Chains A and B, each alone.
Chain A
């Protein structure tokens, strides 16, 4: 869908996903790396646990479909080359600290002198302006400052994050959105612009109910373990079963009626509904906010015992039949082997001939009726400078001699 467009990707782990999305959508994405390679290449896990620039699974995952060139933009010749490249680009994506490119003489003002159509997305922990703009953050700090950590975890221990660097990915998707909005603007006006992406704000935007709870309810929402305070009432969401955990919540009222009826009938069928059948006559009129929390807990005990006597697969299968919103807490092996994802041909085998392996990657971003638009992994992530020749010689029109001289001077 974006085949006419070219992006230069200067990001490290904080922004790699943006370029990967553009590449999946068909854009020509060139990762511009210093000769020593992108810092994200040193992030584990590594293939077969052997560290090395061509073995990081994080790099594999978020740089698929891109090409790579090396370029030392600290040198004058390197800067000139970068400017020539920028002239051919529609997008630049970077995740340096604010002001870095300006200090290197490669700021937006400089680059747009020769290419006013250029759109530059900058991904940083806190954005390009404001009192915290120079603060540093990884996933954990951004998640804490964005309010997500506060409401995750158990009351008797420290609040926690999700054990994966998701804040980086969020910033990457929003950067892609920003570039596309700016592209739309450019289409109408011919003018490029800057897109300033904040990881902290991307976390805040995931707090759908927490923000209104303060604004409208004066309620500070804190970590509550496996219980959730939603719709004005605290109920349990994560339940142990025979062989793991399932997620399920009960709520009454119009929204919950159908699933609660199904659930109670199911339990009755197994003779395990206990007091539930007798104590709730009409789920549609049940307002949980008016029910004694101890009563809710007693119902949860009955339901919890029912779950404990079943496996998560049994519960999931039956829930699908009965249209009950219940799902197993999968681990990565169960995701990889999931029947639904397999049925949709989600996984893509990507050849890593050099490692003598073929790895299964998450596939399309979405399905589409336009066959040639399918956004999917196109090839493995590039080696450091793998495409130097084709880009410097074919695209920029350098001669072999020029390229060799740049190589000798360690610019490429």
Chain B
């Protein structure tokens, strides 16, 4: 498959590409035809011997030509898969727990990276012991919260505090391209797993630490959860009604934001390492990444000392813009009208009522000035219809509108269903269940979602097949409690 294995660069089109680049971008452009070739494109000619065909690079090359991913011990994945996954050959060791960290490995794993999640019996991942459980029966392999965030990983248990754990860790680190963790700042160092230690084993290691407030600074030791970051970032205060207490969000919103930036960081670092051979240590904070989303409001304060506040469902540049009661028990539809064209269409859907021609609603400014009344008029109309009817009538006329969907309704949503968002998988203990896909669909790279692992499910496989312990060694470690 790869002629690079014979030791020559297979990259005839690369020179053309280089010549088509603007002058400023030629320097530093690297050969992309072969993952082996680290030549500058300028020097990239077919048949030229490749520099790094020995040692680690060669082994990586050999791994790349092996089956697309590790054959899965349950017989799913690997050997059955025909298409090439985008991230195959990327090896991740995942020490993270709870929500924010594990999403990173799940995202990478679903697109083909080999992700080994390291857990221990003595300090269970909080999501393994969080309701809801399948059939209401508690059990470390039965929590929906664990399943939702750990898809497509290999699960091993390892007692990091055992005196012989370092022998295993050494092998794991030597195997890995990327290490992800989200313990409190300083915990990895205390476990002997700080970045400097990892680099001694693997100089080009990429390590990512995700925390609430970062690895440095006076609050780096803050021991909190994602819902605390809802508060810190201002999202808590920005959610609710202006005349009442803030309500914040049910979900720990920044627990979502930090892993997405984490995936961006890991993939960029891998890309950088491919070109330069250099790894890096990445310190990503929930607080800071979520601030990226709030940048316009932060600039508004910086420029004008104006403090944005919760506004129910209102929006400074649209009206009507709200969630309106519809027919049925606690049923609602969101409608947002941004442009004049949408306003005209909106009025037509309502049958061009007299109030809509009122001078006070003629401009956006007027609508905003009289928004309470405007909202009352809108709701007088929406209560006569189900939210589905409102959405359909509005959307057909080109007005943004959408049902306020419950968690139950999401599983039946025709759009999500059509896109295959909910993947049916077979979990070894709880049987058939769903793992969610991602908000992206790639036209070529397949998504290969496997169920989240049971606790220690892949111990034997990973320790013997991946890390190369003999059966005798495996049993020895097992007996000594290293895999507790």
Contact = CB atoms under 8 A, between A and B. Distances in A.
Contacts of A164: 235, 238, 293-294, 296-297, 308
A332 B408 CA distance: 35
A368 interface: yes
A180 B306 CA distance: 37
B20 interface: yes
A246 B271 contact: no
Contacts of A6: 25
B299 A201 contact: no
Interface residues of A, number: 171
A219 B131 CA distance: 12
Q: Is the interface of A mostly helix, strand, loop or mixed?
A: mixed
A404 B244 CA distance: 58
Contacts of A60: 296, 299
Interface in A195-251: 195-202, 204-217, 219-226, 228, 230-232, 237-238, 240, 245-247, 249
B414 A131 contact: yes
B445 A343 contact: no
Interface in B212-233: 213-225, 227-233
B440 A197 contact: yes
Contact of A144 (B244, B245, B323, B443): B323
Q: Which of A134, A182, A247 has the most CB of B within 10 A?
A: A247
Interface in B257-289: 257, 260-265, 267-272, 274-275, 278, 280-285, 287-289
B192 to A, nearest CB: 19
Nearest to B261: A365
A313 B444 CA distance: 52
Contact of B253 (A138, A162, A289, A320): A162
Nearest to A149: B404
Interface in B403-438: 403-411, 413-416, 418-419, 421, 433-434, 436-438
B310 interface: yes
Given A44-B317, A190-B13, A324-B223, A184 B86 contact: yes
Chain B interface size range: 35 or more
A366 B145 contact: no
A129 interface: yes
B56 interface: no
B464 interface: no
B149 interface: yes
B440 A174 contact: yes
Nearest to A212: B144
B35 A196 contact: no
Contact of B303 (A169, A191, A246, A359): A359
A216 B335 CA distance: 31
A200 B303 contact: no
A87 interface: yes
A60 B222 CA distance: 32
B28 interface: yes
Q: Which of B235, B291, B437 has the most CB of A within 10 A?
A: B291
B251 A216 contact: no
Contact of B250 (A88, A152, A180, A359): A152
A136 B407 contact: no
B13 A327 contact: no
Given A152-B250, A340-B213, A216 B405 contact: no
B236 interface: yes
Contact of B404 (A88, A150, A259, A326): A150
Contacts of A160: 239-241, 247, 310, 312-313, 323
A398 interface: no
A262 B93 CA distance: 34
Contacts of A366: 261-262, 265, 282-285, 288-289
B177 to A, nearest CB: 12
Q: Which of A2, A17, A162, A230 has the most CB of B within 10 A?
A: A162
Q: Which of A131, A135, A163 has the most CB of B within 10 A?
A: A163
B301 to A, nearest CB: 4
Interface in A99-120: 117
B286 to A, nearest CB: 11
A132 B413 CA distance: 10
A135 B260 contact: no
B261 A327 contact: no
Interface string B307-350: 11111111111100111110000101111101000000000000
A196 to B, nearest CB: 4
Nearest to B333: A144
Nearest to B295: A61
A220 B248 contact: no
B439 interface: yes
B366 to A, nearest CB: 16
Given A163-B239, A201-B416, A204-B410, A329 B248 contact: yes
A130 B419 contact: yes
B218 A4 contact: no
B323 to A, nearest CB: 4
B88 to A, nearest CB: 8
Interface in B16-56: 17, 20-22, 25, 28-30, 32-33, 35
A170 interface: yes
Contacts of B144: 209, 211-213, 215-217
B37 to A, nearest CB: 11
B305 interface: yes
Interface stretch (B166-174, B352-360, B393-401, B466-474): B393-401
B316 A44 contact: yes
Contacts of B66: none
A6 B267 CA distance: 17
Contacts of A330: 231-234, 236-237
Contacts of B219: 320, 339-340, 343
A126 B22 CA distance: 37
Contact of A220 (B268, B289, B309, B406): B406
Given A159-B332, A201-B437, A332-B294, 13 more contacts: A57-B296, A130-B419, A135-B395, A163-B310, A181-B442, A196-B443, A205-B256, A207-B407, A329-B237, A331-B237, A332-B297, A341-B287, A373-B280
13 contacts: A2-B271, A161-B239, A170-B439, A171-B439, A180-B263, A181-B440, A214-B407, A214-B410, A215-B433, A217-B131, A222-B330, A320-B219, A330-B234
6 closest A-B pairs by beta carbon, nearest first, are: A212-B144, A61-B295, A217-B132, A130-B418, A343-B217, A180-B267
